Amino acid sequence: MKDPSKPVFWRDWRMPYVELRKVVDGRQVCYAPHSHTQWSLGAITEGQSTFLYRGGQFKVSAGNLVIVNPDWVHACNPIDNQPWGYLMLYVDTDWLTNLRYEAGLLETPCWEDIATATMPDHEWYAGYCRIAECLLGPDRELLEKQTAVVEYLTALMHELSGQAAEPRPKAPDNLQAVADYLKAHASEEVSLDTLCERSGYSPGHLIRSFKHHFGFTPHAYLINYRVQYGQRELKRGKPIAETAVNAGFSDQPHFQRTFKKLLAATPKQYRQSLLNQQIDTAGGK
């Protein structure tokens, strides 16, 4: 019997632009603030939770959808250990950008953030649940799954087309240089002194200014990027121990603790779902 507290990840290498996560009992699932490179759409299937999103706080309950722009810091956690279940769809940002552009919703094929954070709309929620059921269904054909995703997201993008968010202020060049440096040296030990030298800021000013523009302190940004790197490597089938070292963690246990803290799943759970999905699709449906 499956443990309802353990997350289920759906992926299909033939649909690399979308990934689904399902949690039936999320009372033990707690997230630290984090971000994704993908655009994310969540559905609360049971109970209530607190949705922290780029400085705002929302109380969401069963039947609500939550929308997360790529690279926006967020966290969603249960309230007072009450029953809580959810689905989360992660959509490749470039793929979704192209979908919006081809639908005539963007003037250029460049990503534009969406202002809406929550949708308490039963119709859109019901449609989302139908997509999830389709993707998770082992007997559903590939074409059916692809069609369901494209039809729903196209319709939703039309619904949200008039709700573009204000463009995010561009970070000063010296702060962007710090962010780029952190990514380029993510597998190494980075000192605050080095970052101050590159930015020309004092330690306190650098931390405050960086958090204002990126939603993280430099250290939290580095850890978040390391976990994102770890996800990509695990999707490629890399061993957990090798991924931990390449991502810049001191050892595998440290990687496991941090991965679970940010994503509420262990690297083994995340990677095992991928391996199971490869087996399930090996028949070539």
For the chain, what is the mean pLDDT? Answer: 89
Q: State the pLDDT at residue 198.
A: 94
Q: State the pLDDT at residue 285.
A: 47
Query: Given pLDDT bands bounded at 50, 70 and 90, which one contains residue 279?
Result: very low
Distance separating alpha carbons of residues 43 and 168, to the nearest angstrom: 26
Q: List the domain boundaries for the chain.
A: 8-159, 173-276
The candidate with the shortest Cα–Cα distance to 38, out of 231, 257, 195, is 231
Distance separating alpha carbons of residues 175 and 181, to the nearest angstrom: 10
The candidate with the shortest Cα–Cα distance to 179, out of 164, 166, 190, is 190
Q: What are the backbone angles phi and psi of residue 109, rounded to the nearest 5°?
A: -75, 55
Instruction: Give yes or no for residue 2 having a pLDDT over 70.
Output: no
> SS3 for 77?
strand
A 10 A CB-CB count for 265 gives: 19
The candidate with the shortest Cα–Cα distance to 39, out of 2, 74, 3, is 74
Q: Which residues pair with 118 in a beta bridge?
A: 66
Which structure tokens are listed for 40? 């994310």
Burial (CB count <10 Å: 0-12, 13-18, 19+), residue 204:
exposed
Query: Given pLDDT bands bounded at 50, 70 and 90, which one contains residue 277?
Result: low
Question: Which residue type occupies 282?
Answer: A
141-193 pLDDT, tens digit per residue, is 999 999 999 999 999 999 999 877 777 888 999 999 999 999 999 999 999 99
Q: What are the backbone angles phi and psi of residue 221, rounded to the nearest 5°?
A: -60, -45
241-252 pLDDT, tens digit per residue, is 999 999 999 899
- Number of H helices and E strands in the chain, helices first, is 10, 8
Instruction: Give yes or no for residue 272 having a pLDDT over 70.
Output: yes
Half-sphere exposure of 56 (CA within 13 A, CB side): 12
> SS3 for 183?
helix
> What number is the average pLDDT over the span 51-59?
86
Q: State the pLDDT at residue 275.
A: 47
87-139 pLDDT, tens digit per residue, is 999 999 999 999 999 999 999 999 999 999 999 989 999 999 999 999 999 99
Which CATH number describes the domain made up of 173-276?
1.10.10.60
Q: State the pLDDT at residue 54.
A: 78
Please tell me the total number of residues recorded for the chain in this structure. Answer: 285
Positive/negative CA dihedral, 217, 220, 226, 227: negative
Q: State the pLDDT at residue 264.
A: 83
Name residues whose C-beta falls within 8 Å of residue 96's C-beta, 6 or more positions apart in sequence. Answer: 17, 39, 111, 153, 157
> What number is the average pLDDT over the span 245-263?
92
Would you give the DSSP letter of residue 188? S
CATH 2.60.120.280 given to domain 8-159: yes
Distance separating alpha carbons of residues 271 and 9, to the nearest angstrom: 9
Are 114 and 164 a contacting pair, CB within 8 Å?
Answer: yes
